Chains A and B, each alone.
Chain A
Amino acid sequence: MDTARLWVLRVNEADFSGWDAFTQWLEEDPGHLALYEAALAEDAFARDIAAAMPAVLPFTPRKPSVWRYAVPGAMAASLTGVVLWFGVLSGAGITEITTGPGEMRDITLADGTQIALNGNSRITYDADEPRMVTLAAGEALFEVEHDDANPFVVMVGQTRLVDAGTIFNVTSDGGAIEVGVAEGAVIYYAAGAEITLNPGDRLTRPSADAPAQVQRADTAAMGSWRDGLLQYDNAPLSDVARDLSRALGKPVRAVGGAQQMRYTGTLSATGSQQAVLEAASALLGVRLTETSDHWEMTPANAPSP
């Protein structure tokens, strides 16, 4: 079998010229062809595996000051690991990473760009386009290796976010999008609009057809979900509901007047689902009721449905 492996390695080299010797080896023994085919299958398996592994780059730890928000020591340490890619391979070269509810994942790309993926989220990546990532659903925090000649792009549906040397957070919810920039700049491109976002800017667009609006936001609060903290400043409960969906795994719908309620403060999204629910109910002044496919968030002082 080792000899067969050797033949595969040699034949696969572009400058291989030992075809007659190869023919002779194959003719020597009828079993040799089968071994060669087995070695080819091994090689195909190795290609699949390799496609799912990150291209190697030694990770360079970053200075703590780069992270604009409080990151507990343990979390910082976990960032230094290179997380393996794996694909639910839908096609050659396309890798998809999905997180379950409440699960977070750190990813480092071949170019050094780091992505923190929040719960219930999904990104896809095509090895043929190494400077582009698609956020299919959920939330991710990007720290991009800036390259003027080859800008990093995050696609959210038909919207392009182009890095201009950045740390930025993106949430995607159907056609709704929210982008917050902590450092550097991001250029937002969507039908008819081109908007440059600077540190402290937060762009919100409630649906694919709605216009995008830019407000000022607290950069220190951005990405706090990584610590399991959700921070809000007079935010409508529909926003809180959306963020809780990522922790709970089922959509959370603010109904019965809860959508208009507002919240200022911090919500903890770590711990057991029960703990999250209790904390959210108490702090937000709501009742959370589970149905088969979603959670209903209703004002606590309204009559029971």
Chain B
Amino acid sequence: MNADQTPSGLQAVALHERPRLLRFLVARGAGEDAEDLFQELWQRVARTAAEPVADPVSYLFRCAENLMRDVRRSAVSRERRQFEWHEAGDNDAEYPLGERVLIARERLQQVDAALEALGPRVAQVFRAYRIEGRSQALIAREHGVSLSSIEKDLQKAYRALAQLKAKFLAE
């Protein structure tokens, strides 16, 4: 089903899917602001250039997801950011630049070691995904494995990173 390409076409789809989108926004944490956020979504869609959209419903949900992430990001930056992964602590004055540079370098080496310890493919897959920005589907094809294998590799990598981050925070 090839939907209309004009912004008003997208808006028509948005109106039609409003209940589903509202439900998503609520589940995603919008709470009472769901209606307002739907309006925000509506505005964003209206501002979109008239390009062909293959799957307008998915497109709208993707917009909604991005909107929720933006909302959350603003909320977080309103609070003071507690931790820069490469900083030794909150207080910049505690450590001179040279030392912070050394600590950051050391931590990166730990990250590298942790990823390598998970096996060569995990490290490669993480790099391909996060550094080179390839999609999981593409990585799966390149390695000749299933998409779910790639998902598992990435979950392992992320788990290891979470442990390291906790360790850095505690230092």
Residues of A within 8 A of B (CB): 2, 5-6, 9-11, 13-17, 19-20, 22-23, 26-27, 33, 37, 39-40, 42-43, 45-53, 55-56, 84-89, 98, 100
| B 137-171 binary contact with A (CB < 8 Å = 1; else 0) | 10000000000000100110111011001000000
Q: Which residues of A lie under 8 Å from residue B61 when comparing CB positions?
A: 19
* A110→B130 CA distance, assembly (Å): 15
Q: Which residues of B lie under 8 Å from residue A40 when comparing CB positions?
A: 69, 72
Q: In the bound complex, do residue A42 and residue B162 qualify as a contact, i.e. CB atoms below 8 Å apart?
A: yes
Residue B36 at the chain A interface, CB threshold 8 Å: no
Q: In the bound complex, do residue A15 and residue B137 qualify as a contact, i.e. CB atoms below 8 Å apart?
A: yes
Q: Given that A13-B136, A48-B85, A53-B127 are known contacts, is A19 also in contact with B158, CB under 8 Å in the complex? A: no
Count residues of B near A (Cβ-Cβ below 8 Å).
Answer: 45
Q: Which residues of B lie under 8 Å from residue A48 when comparing CB positions?
A: 85
Residue B13 at the chain A interface, CB threshold 8 Å: no
* A49→B157 CA distance, assembly (Å): 12
* A40→B161 CA distance, assembly (Å): 13
Residue B1 at the chain A interface, CB threshold 8 Å: no
Per a CB cutoff under 8 Å, which of A9, A13, A45, A53 touches B165? A45
A12 nearest CB across to chain B (Å): 9
Q: In the bound complex, do residue B100 and residue A88 qualify as a contact, i.e. CB atoms below 8 Å apart?
A: yes
* A266→B164 CA distance, assembly (Å): 47
Q: In the bound complex, do residue B104 and residue A86 qualify as a contact, i.e. CB atoms below 8 Å apart?
A: yes
Per a CB cutoff under 8 Å, which of B28, B29, B112, B161 touches A42? B161
For B58, the closest partner residue in chain A by CB is: A17
Q: In the bound complex, do residue A98 and residue B111 qualify as a contact, i.e. CB atoms below 8 Å apart?
A: no
Residue B48 at the chain A interface, CB threshold 8 Å: no
Q: Which residues of A lie under 8 Å from residue B65 when comparing CB positions?
A: 11
Q: Which residues of A lie under 8 Å from residue B62 when comparing CB positions?
A: 16
* A39→B55 CA distance, assembly (Å): 26
Residue B98 at the chain A interface, CB threshold 8 Å: yes
Q: In the bound complex, do residue B20 and residue A50 qualify as a contact, i.e. CB atoms below 8 Å apart?
A: no
Q: In the bound complex, do residue B161 and residue A49 qualify as a contact, i.e. CB atoms below 8 Å apart?
A: yes
Q: Given that A26-B27, A47-B130, A49-B161 are known contacts, is A14 also in contact with B135, CB under 8 Å in the complex? A: yes
Q: Given that A53-B112, A55-B131, A89-B86 are known contacts, is A19 also in contact with B58, CB under 8 Å in the complex? A: yes
Residues of B within 8 A of A (CB): 20, 23-24, 27-29, 55, 57-58, 61-62, 65, 69, 72, 84-86, 97-98, 100-101, 104-105, 108-109, 111-112, 124, 126-127, 130-132, 135-137, 151, 154-155, 157-159, 161-162, 165
Q: Given that A17-B55, A88-B86 are known contacts, is A56 also in contact with B131, CB under 8 Å in the complex? A: yes
Q: In the bound complex, do residue A33 and residue B124 qualify as a contact, i.e. CB atoms below 8 Å apart?
A: no
B162 nearest CB across to chain A (Å): 6
* A26→B130 CA distance, assembly (Å): 25
Q: What are the 8 A-B residue pairs with the smallest beta carbon separation, nearest first?
A: A50-B130, A26-B27, A19-B61, A100-B98, A86-B104, A50-B131, A84-B108, A23-B24
Q: Given that A14-B135, A33-B28 are known contacts, is A88 also in contact with B97, CB under 8 Å in the complex? A: yes
Q: Given that A9-B151, A13-B135, A84-B109 are known contacts, is A19 also in contact with B97, CB under 8 Å in the complex? A: no
21 pairs, CB–CB < 8 Å, chain A vs chain B: A5-B154, A9-B154, A19-B20, A22-B24, A23-B28, A27-B27, A39-B158, A40-B72, A42-B161, A42-B162, A46-B126, A49-B111, A49-B161, A50-B126, A55-B127, A86-B86, A87-B86, A88-B97, A88-B101, A88-B104, A100-B98
* A89→B85 CA distance, assembly (Å): 11
Q: Which residues of B lie under 8 Å from residue A39 when comparing CB positions?
A: 158
Q: Which residues of B lie under 8 Å from residue A15 when comparing CB positions?
A: 135, 137
* A51→B111 CA distance, assembly (Å): 13
Q: In the bound complex, do residue A9 and residue B111 qualify as a contact, i.e. CB atoms below 8 Å apart?
A: no
Q: Which residues of A lie under 8 Å from residue B57 when comparing CB positions?
A: 19
Q: In the bound complex, do residue A46 and residue B161 qualify as a contact, i.e. CB atoms below 8 Å apart?
A: yes
Per a CB cutoff under 8 Å, which of B55, B72, B162 touches A37? B72
For A98, the closest partner residue in chain B by CB is: B101
Given contacts A17-B58, A87-B86, 20 further A-B contacts (CB under 8 A): A10-B151, A13-B136, A14-B135, A19-B58, A20-B20, A23-B23, A23-B27, A33-B27, A42-B161, A45-B85, A45-B165, A46-B126, A46-B158, A49-B85, A56-B131, A86-B108, A88-B97, A89-B86, A98-B98, A100-B101
